[in-house]
């Protein structure tokens, strides 16, 4: 039993610490997942507290794993562990049955699990949890109460400080596709065929059908008189971001490939909601954009906001930025800031910055553009 108890402590402690850490260094990412749950549960009023809950839940998980690994206050920690595991096992069983959110985010974006995989992971983890709980009365405290609670308090404070740092800046480890060093498209010599689709709507019934070009009845004049063009899309398997990112201009034209494959150094300012963006960050980037464009660099803004919202903020702040639109979920994965800046070169992500780390253009140019 002592060996089983030790193995159980190591397994549970490391799993909890890892799970808390990968979520804690990306508090915005976990907050977005909590907001998804608030929406499906009909508790959207909790959304303003998502970031705070993200930090507190991550800290709870990390510190609980820490005290279990070090065998601090085993009688207290085993009860807490049993309660946490019982709650989340029931929750993940509900998720697996109903699938309200495709990925619960138990390991953040570091490891993607389906809801059923998450549930079975919790079932397996329940075995060492029960071993720790059954052994709780025989396990002796390694430290006095003051020392044990003091250590736990210090670890909690340090972990929350780390979460706050990552929230103010960017995650210290980036698990997303748009991380430094990633090339966002495949080279031509290994490229796969690109597929083009068009959607038509029946004028009488409003039924819509999508066709893979050139497989649609464009030669049938009767059919063409009864159906009207709606839109088109491109499925390019050579783009690493796949179908998740579609960049369109304000007239609705797809310019994804043009922007991502533009050679040389390019700046992309990401603001998933222009009205909620840090206003000083937008002003700083407006001046930054004008200076960088004069030096021959491209600078665009990606947002999911509507044209009227863009016009409102542009008029209010006197912005002269070039705006394009993309899905808000995708933009949130590109950079965990609103706004956040991405520097690309020949389709490769060179670096990313939160609005809290924006620099004046001349200082930025001396530090980054002369090096890369």
Residues 56 and 157 in one domain: yes
CA distances from 51 to 27, 28, 42, 185 (A): 6, 6, 18, 33
End residue of a domain, out of 235, 267, 286: 235
Query: Tell me: the pLDDT tens digits for 144-157?
Result: 888 989 999 999 99
Tokens of 178: 């748009």
Distance between CA atoms of residues 329 and 103, nearest Å: 14
Q: What is the arithmetic mean of pLDDT over 358-370?
A: 86
Q: How confident is the model at residue 158 (pLDDT cuts 50, 70, 90)?
A: very high
Residue at 24 is within a domain: yes
Residues 102 and 131 in one domain: yes
Residues 347 and 199 in one domain: no
DSSP β-bridge partners for residue 303: 271, 325
Residues 128 and 32 in one domain: yes
Q: What is the arithmetic mean of pLDDT over 197-216?
A: 85
Residues 161 and 284 in one domain: no
- Examine the pLDDT at 193 and tell me if it is beyond 90: no
Residue at 20 is within a domain: yes
Residues 200 and 264 in one domain: no
Overall domain count for the chain = 3
Residues 307 and 358 in one domain: yes
What domain range includes position 279?
256-369
CA distances from 246 to 63, 96, 301 (A): 40, 30, 13
Query: Tell me: the pLDDT tens digits for 247-273?
Result: 888 888 888 888 888 888 999 999 999
Residues 153 and 278 in one domain: no
Residue at 55 is within a domain: yes
Residue at 101 is within a domain: yes
Residues 41 and 135 in one domain: yes
Could you tell me if 297 and 351 are in contact, meaning their C-beta atoms sit under 8 angstroms apart?
Answer: no
Residue at 267 is within a domain: yes
CA distances from 286 to 18, 155, 214 (A): 40, 41, 43
Q: Which of 298, 353, 297, 301 is nearest to 325 (CA)?
A: 301
Which of these ranges, 7-11, 73-77, 124-128, has the smallest mean pLDDT? 73-77
Residue whose structure tokens are 């954009």:
289
Residues 365 and 320 in one domain: yes
Backbone angles phi, psi at 341, to 5 degrees: -110, 135
Task: Count Cβ neighbours within 10 Å for each residue of 82-117 and write b for 16 or more, e otherwise.
Answer: beebeebbeebbebbeeeebebbbbbbbeeebebeb
Position 243 scores a pLDDT of 45
Residue at 64 is within a domain: yes
Query: Tell me: the pLDDT tens digits for 162-181?
Result: 999 999 999 999 998 899 98
Tokens of 226: 């009864």
Tokens of 323: 């705006």
Residues 147 and 19 in one domain: yes
- Domain with residue 274: its CATH number is 3.40.30.10
Residues 220 and 271 in one domain: no
pTM of the predicted model as reported, rounded to 2 decimal places: 0.81
The answer for residues whose C-beta is within 8 angstroms of residue 217's C-beta and 6 or more apart is 223, 224
């Amino acid at each position: 039993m002592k060996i089983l108890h030790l193995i159980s402590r190591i397994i549970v402690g490391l799993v909890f610490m890892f799970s808390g850490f990968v979520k804690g260094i990306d508090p915005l990412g976990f907050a977005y997942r909590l907001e998804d749950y608030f929406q499906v549960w009909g508790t959207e009023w909790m959304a303003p507290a998502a970031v705070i809950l993200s930090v507190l839940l991550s800290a709870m998980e990390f510190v609980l794993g820490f005290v279990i690994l070090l065998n601090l206050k085993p009688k207290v920690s085993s009860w807490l562990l049993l309660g946490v595991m019982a709650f989340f096992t029931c929750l993940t069983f509900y998720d697996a049955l109903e699938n309200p959110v495709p990925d619960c985010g138990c390991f953040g974006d570091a490891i993607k699990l389906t809801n059923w995989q998450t549930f079975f992971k919790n079932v397996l983890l329940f075995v060492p949890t029960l071993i720790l709980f059954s052994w709780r009365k025989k396990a002796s405290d390694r430290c006095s109460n003051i020392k044990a609670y003091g250590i736990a308090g210090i670890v909690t404070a340090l972990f929350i400080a780390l979460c706050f740092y990552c929230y103010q800046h960017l995650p210290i480890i980036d698990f997303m596709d748009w991380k430094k060093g990633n090339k966002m498209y495949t080279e031509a010599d290994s490229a796969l065929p690109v597929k083009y689709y068009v959607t038509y709507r029946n004028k009488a019934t409003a039924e819509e059908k999508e066709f893979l070009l050139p497989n649609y009845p464009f030669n049938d004049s009767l059919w063409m008189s009864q159906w009207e063009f709606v839109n088109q899309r491109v499925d390019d398997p050579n783009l690493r971001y796949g179908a998740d990112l579609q960049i369109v201009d304000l007239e609705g034209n797809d310019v994804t490939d043009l922007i991502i494959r533009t050679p040389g150094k390019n700046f992309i300012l990401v603001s998933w909601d222009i009205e909620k963006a840090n206003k000083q960050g937008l002003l700083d980037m407006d001046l930054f954009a004008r200076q960088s464009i004069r030096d021959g660099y491209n600078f665009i803004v990606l947002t999911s906001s509507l044209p009227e919202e863009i016009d409102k903020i542009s008029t209010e702040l006197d912005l002269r930025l070039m705006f394009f639109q993309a899905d808000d979920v995708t933009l949130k994965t590109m950079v965990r800031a609103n706004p956040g800046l991405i520097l690309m070169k020949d389709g490769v992500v060179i670096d990313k910055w939160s609005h809290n780390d924006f620099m004046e253009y001349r200082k930025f140019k001396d530090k980054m553009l002369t090096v890369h």
